[in-house]
C-alpha cells in the first residue's frame, strides 16, 4: 500500500470521514472519500483542512497531526484504535498515554474523538505509513 501524504488528506466540515484531494476546479476542489471512493466537488464556502496543517496544543507548544497519528499507531500496533464513541474518561486516559502533555484547557474530548475517527479511517481505508518531507520534495 502507498504511503499517506497528509498534505492531500483533508477533512471537510459537515462531511463524514476523510477525503483525498484530487484536483482544483475553477470554483473549489474535487475530493475523493476514503470510505466510499466517491468523488465530489466542494465549493469555496466549504471549510477544508489538510491534516498536515492541523496540530494539537500541548503544554510545550503544538504537536503535528502526523506525530499524534504515529503515536496512536505505535500504541495500537498499527491496528484500529479505540472507538470515538467510547467513554469520554477512557478517551482522555488513552490520550494521556499517546500525548501525555496535551493541553487539557484547549484539546477537548470532542477533538480527541475527531482524531480517533481520522486515525481509524486511515487505518481502515488508507495507510498509517506517512510520506516524509524528503520524499515530498522528490515528488515535486
Q: Spell out the domain ranges in the chain.
A: 54-125
**CA separation for the pair 12, 34 (Å, rounded):** 12
- Summarised one tens digit per residue, pLDDT across range 53-75 is 999 999 999 999 999 999 999 99
**pTM recorded for the entire structure:** 0.90
Name the one residue in this structure whose C-alpha cell is 496543517: 53
pLDDT score of 136: 47
Fold of the 54-125 domain: Arc Repressor Mutant, subunit A (1.10.10)
- Summarised one tens digit per residue, pLDDT across range 113-132 is 999 999 999 999 999 999 98
For 54, list phi and psi in degrees, rounded to 5: -100, 135
Cell of residue 98, nine digits: 499517546
Indicate the helix (H) or strand (E) that contains 32.
strand 28-33
Amino acid at each position: 500500500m502507498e504511503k499517506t501524504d497528509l498534505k492531500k488528506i483533508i477533512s471537510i466540515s459537515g462531511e463524514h470521514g476523510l477525503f483525498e484531494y484530487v484536483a482544483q476546479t475553477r470554483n473549489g476542489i474535487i475530493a475523493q472519500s476514503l470510505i466510499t471512493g466517491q468523488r465530489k466537488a466542494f465549493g469555496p464556502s466549504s471549510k477544508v483542512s489538510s491534516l498536515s496543517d492541523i496540530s494539537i496544543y500541548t503544554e510545550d507548544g503544538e504537536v503535528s497531526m502526523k506525530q499524534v497519528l504515529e503515536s496512536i499507531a505505535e500504541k495500537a500496533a498499527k491496528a484500529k484504535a479505540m472507538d470515538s464513541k467510547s467513554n469520554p474518561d477512557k478517551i482522555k486516559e488513552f490520550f494521556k498515554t499517546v500525548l501525555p502533555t496535551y493541553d487539557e484547557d484547549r484539546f477537548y474530548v470532542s477533538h480527541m474523538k475527531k482524531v480517533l475517527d481520522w486515525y481509524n479511517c486511515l487505518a481502515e481505508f488508507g495507510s498509517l505509513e506517512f510520506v516524509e518531507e524528503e520524499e515530498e520534495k522528490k515528488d515535486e
